[in-house]
Amino acid sequence: MAELLRVDQLSAGYGEAVVLQGISLALDEGATLALLGRNGTGKTTLINTLAGAARQHGGSITLAGVALHKLPPHQRAAAGIGWVPQERNIFKSLTVHENLTAVARPGKWNADAVYAMFPRLAERKANLGTQLSGGEQQMLAVGRALVINPRLLLLDEPLEGLAPIIVEELLRAIRRITHEEGLSAIIVEQHPQAILAISDRAVVLDRGTVVHSGSAQALRNAPQLLDKLLGVAR
C-alpha cells in the first residue's frame, strides 16, 4: 500500500507550552492506527495538531505529498482531513440534515450514505442538534466528517461516555468505514482492546513521545505489555 501520512520529528503544544516532542509515525493508505496512552500523554494534542488546532513548534506533517503543517485548518480539511474532536462540534442550532449538507463536498459520502450507516439519524433528520442524545450527536459528528469525503479520518475518543449498545453500533460503523470502505483513520480511545481489534497499527504515547509502535494485533495479544504501557488491566 502507498503511504498516506508521514509525521517527522513533530513538536507541538499550546502557546509556548510544548506537549509533544520528536513524534514520528507513518500510515499507509487504507490503514487504521490506534493511538493509545494514559490520560495527559499527548494523544489529543497530536490529533489537534494534525487538524491544525494546536501550535506546531517543529517537524513536518505530510498527507499524500501535501505539506499539511503549512496549511490552516480549513485548507487541511480540503486536503483530506476529516476530524471528529472530543467536543463533537456539531451545529446544535441546525437540523441533522442541515449539519450534513452544510459542509458536504462531492464524493461517495453524502447525507444518504450517512443515513444508511446510521438509521437513527435518518429518523431524526429534521431534529436540531440540541434534540439528539449523546450517542446520536457522536454519530452526527462522524457523519459530518465523512461528508467532506476525507482521505484521513481523525477520531478523538469516539466512544467516550456512551451506552454499551451505542458503543457497539459505532464500532461496527468505524469497522465498515475503515475495513470495507478503505478509509484511513487514526483513533484515540480509552478502550484499547475494542480499538486494537479494528486497527492495523498501534502507537502508544507517554509524556509526549512515542514509546511503542507496531502491529495492533500483536499488542492486543500481549496483555502484559499492554498493561505495562497503559497502566490498565486488560
- The model's pLDDT over 111-127, given as tens digits with 9 standing for 90+, comes to 999 999 999 999 999 99
Mean local confidence (pLDDT), 24-35: 97
What are the residues whose beta carbons fall under 8 Å from the beta carbon of 87, sequence distance 6 or more? none
Residue 23 has, within 13 A of its CA and on its CB side, a CA count of: 32
Q: Which three cell numbers stand for residue 49?
A: 495538531
How far apart (Å, rounded) are the C-alpha atoms in residues 73 and 54? 10
Residue 231 has pLDDT above 90, yes or no: no
Q: What is the pLDDT of residue 190?
A: 85
Residue 43 has pLDDT above 60, yes or no: yes
pLDDT tens profile 139-172: 999 999 999 999 999 999 999 989 999 999 999 9
Whether residue 89 is predicted with pLDDT greater than 90 in this model: the reply is no
Asked if residues 2 and 29 have their Cβ atoms less than 8 Å apart, the reply is yes
DSSP 41: S
pLDDT for 229: 93
Mean of the per-residue pLDDT values of the chain: 94
pLDDT at 95 over 60: yes
| d(C-alpha 30, C-alpha 129), whole Å | 31
What pLDDT does 234 receive? 40
Confidence tier at 77 by pLDDT (50, 70, 90): very high
* H/E run at residue 121: helix 119-123
Phi, psi of 162 (to 5 degrees): -100, 155
What would the pLDDT profile of 205-217 be if each residue is shown by its tens digit? 999 999 999 999 9
Confidence of residue 71 (pLDDT cuts 50, 70, 90): very high
Percent of the chain residues past pLDDT 90, beyond the cut: 93
Given a cut of 70, is residue 174 above it in pLDDT? yes
For the structural domain made of 30-54+70-230, what CATH number should be given?
3.40.50.300
Helices (runs of H) and strands (runs of E) counted in the chain: 10, 10
| Spatial distance between the Cα atoms of 93 and 87, rounded to a whole number of angstroms | 15
Which of 201, 179, 184, 8 is closest to 80 using CA atoms? 184
Cα–Cα dist 129/138, whole Å: 10
74's grid cell: 480549513
Phi and psi, residue 155, nearest 5°: -120, 115
Checking if the pLDDT of 232 tops 70, the result is no
Chain CA centroid to CA 5, Å: 13
